[in-house]
Structure 1
Amino acid sequence: MDQHCSTTNLQAIVYKDQKKYRILVIEDNPGDFALIQDYLQEYIATPDILQAKSFKEAETCLCATVECPYDVVLLDLSLPDVSGERLINDLVALDPGCPVIILSGYSDFEFSVRSLSMGIADYLIKDELSPSILYKSLVYNIERKRIRQDLEESKRRYSNLFHLSPQPMWVFDLETFQFLDVNEAALNHYGYSKEEFISMSIKEIRPADEVAKLENHIQSSILTQKPFYGMAKHRKKNGEIINVEVKTNLIQFKDRKAVLVLCSDITERLKYIKTIEKQNQQIKEIAWIQSHVVRAPIARLMGLVNLIDLEKATDTDHKNLLSHIMDSANELDQIVRDINTRTKEV
């Protein structure tokens, strides 16, 4: 029998939670506090437990550092200085992010539900309490706090990426096409105020002949569940039409199906490309002139020089040849001038 008990105790030790939990127990009853300690130590290897016997002591503990130093707070609702709803409100206000589990001696279902809406993480009845119930509530609520913090951090990162982006971005409702949110870069680039944006649909920043194209792109994204990437034309508040590169993604925004849009104004880039294309065409024309047009008078000059060397050529022949040479030279000079002019234009 003793050997069996030893084995059971050994297993209990082996399977105890090895994490470091810092727990504030706000309880003025020594017997209840001792029982809570025993319950916690049954499932947690080395819990760091601190007792506060009044709200004043709890306030001192929770305000000892800038950040709450406790993973969870276990709260008795009947303290010598404060109790009931006022105790809940005052305690939650000290650190809204710290899970608070009520350990009450009173089974009041209506009040327990109301306390959850006041920021309490869980409501446990002392007479129904057991080590496993207390441990599960503690672990679940600490994990819930971690998940909530991760979600808040994710929202904060999204907000920073969205609002601090140097590129215009907005979110619009997938069903109504209404703007739901817009960043500062979009306000500056398009000229609308945020209130004006929110009162508009995305169709209103598109030229009339682009609306059907917009609707087709959105329907395609809905059917394929894939982001859209492509070119579009937008209209600024001053009426200027700009060319933009658009990237979209389907998201959930405040429980609504929405589309996140990132826009890059490529109007100047397209103008630059057209300028380069025009220059390239001019360069091709210059190259063609050099390889075809310039060679014609040069070939004639070479032929005329050969004729001058003929011994039987008369003075009249020489004069005619010199005249042709001059004509070819003038033609070549004009071609060179044309090439220089075209080169300057490029």
Structure 2
Amino acid sequence: MSKNLNRYDILVVEDNPGDYLLVEDFLLETRVTKNIRLAKDFHSARDILKGEVSHIDLIFLDLSLPDLEGEELISRIKEYSKNVPIIILTGYTDVDFAIKTLSLGASDYLLKDVLNTTVLHKSILYNIERNKTMVNLKESEQRYSDLFHFSPLPMWVYDKKSLKFLDVNDAAIEHYGYSYEEFLAMDITDIRPPEEISALKDSMIKQRQPNKNIYHGEFTHLKKNGDRIRVEIRSNSFLFRGLQAQIILVNDVTERNLHIEAVEKQNEILKDIAWTQSHVVRAPLARLMGLVNAMKNERITDSDKEIFYNHILKSAEELDEIVKSVVSKSQEINVNSQNE
């Protein structure tokens, strides 16, 4: 009847022998069953589901069993079924409650009086495949949650329409000083200084451009205590709980920028020192060398010696002041380095 290559292990939880035989016959005709197991009450079903070697792909569950029934039965079965889809088997008198079971976690319901091979076959394939999709979706959501909440960098999600915070991680709470509830009562303009609002709006316009889902930029943010920090953000658009949202990853670059500024300042001082050494020092040094050379060659008279000595002393004092200035600037570099 089916070209489907997959075969499944089915658990039928049914206390009526006649109903079970009917379901078993139909299941065998579907040719998608590998094994069919029977549990005549809740405790038997629980033991099967708890078994270490037991593998069940789908459960057919009667709503009325000798030891349990109704909502409590569904609730208890779900405790042990994990991600296995549950299809309710019911009569016409139970149809209203059967519909309610969908909100209690059942995947589907079938009326016993209209069961046939085709109905069972379609229900098995549909519910198993849909369940796989749901499980994958839950796993994907869990991966997102783990990556989001365990990130060492601040992250948040905001509504692109209202700009309200929709979710924030622990790193953002710790870094900015707001509680989770305070964040959710705010929008993203509340952590921006007034002069940055226009830049924020410009960045949001860029984010709306086609093929511009990912955005990167640097902005000023405000902490709860009023501190201003410089941050580098990366953002991406996605659907969050049915809303068009933006997820933000924040990297505080305040210290990095201050360090760069300090390095640039030090470089300017070093350039000034280098210029001093190559230009300012050369003048008095050249005079000294000329005067000493003249005295060495005895080209001066006794009457000129005092004048020469005064020139030498003045050049030496000038050179001493230059050296002091260089030392002072060098010490300024060391002080700045220690303060970083």
Question: TM-score category by the smaller chain?
Answer: 0.7 to 0.9
Structure 1: gaps (5+ residues): 1-11
Among 230, 249, 257, the residue aligned to 1:262:
249
Among 276, 285, 288, the residue aligned to 2:272:
285
Distance 1:237 1:68 in 2: 55
Verify: 1:137 aligned to 2:115, yes or no.
Answer: no
Distance 2:193 2:54 in 1: 55
Distance 1:246 1:142 in 2: 42
1:243–1:182 Cα change, 3 Å: same
Structure 2: gaps (5+ residues): 334-340
Distance 2:4 2:228 in 1: 68
Task: Answer with 25-34 or 47-56: which moved more.
Answer: 25-34
1:236–1:90 Cα change, 3 Å: closer
Aligned residues: 332
Among 13, 23, 26, the residue aligned to 2:10:
23
Task: Answer with 249-258 or 317-326: which moved more.
Answer: 317-326
| Cα drift, residue 117 of structure 1 | 2.7
Question: Which residue is 1:307 aligned to?
Answer: 294
Task: Decide whether the 8 Å contact of 2:27 with 2:33 is kept in 1.
Answer: no
Task: Decide whether the 8 Å contact of 1:107 with 1:125 is kept in 2.
Answer: no
| Cα drift, residue 283 of structure 1 | 0.2
Task: Decide whether the 8 Å contact of 1:246 with 1:262 is kept in 2.
Answer: yes
Question: Which residue is 1:3 aligned to?
Answer: none
1:68–1:279 Cα change, 3 Å: farther
Among 185, 205, 224, the residue aligned to 2:171:
185
Corresponding residue SS for 1:167? coil
1:88–1:341 Cα change, 3 Å: closer
Verify: 1:271 aligned to 2:258, yes or no.
Answer: yes
Corresponding residue SS for 1:301? helix
Question: Which residue is 2:207 aligned to?
Answer: 221
Corresponding residue SS for 2:300? coil
1:216–1:48 Cα change, 3 Å: same
1:91–1:314 Cα change, 3 Å: closer
| Cα drift, residue 195 of structure 1 | 2.0
Task: Answer with 114-123 or 273-282: which moved more.
Answer: 114-123
| Cα drift, residue 112 of structure 1 | 4.1
Superposition CA RMSD, Å:
2.9
1:45–1:151 Cα change, 3 Å: closer
Distance 2:325 2:217 in 1: 42
| Cα drift, residue 90 of structure 1 | 4.3
1:220–1:45 Cα change, 3 Å: closer
| Cα drift, residue 87 of structure 1 | 4.3
Corresponding residue SS for 2:143? helix
Relative to the length of structure 2, the TM-score reads 0.85
Distance 1:148 1:186 in 2: 30
Q: Which amino acid aligns with 2:187?
A: S
Distance 2:270 2:203 in 1: 39
1:302–1:312 Cα change, 3 Å: closer
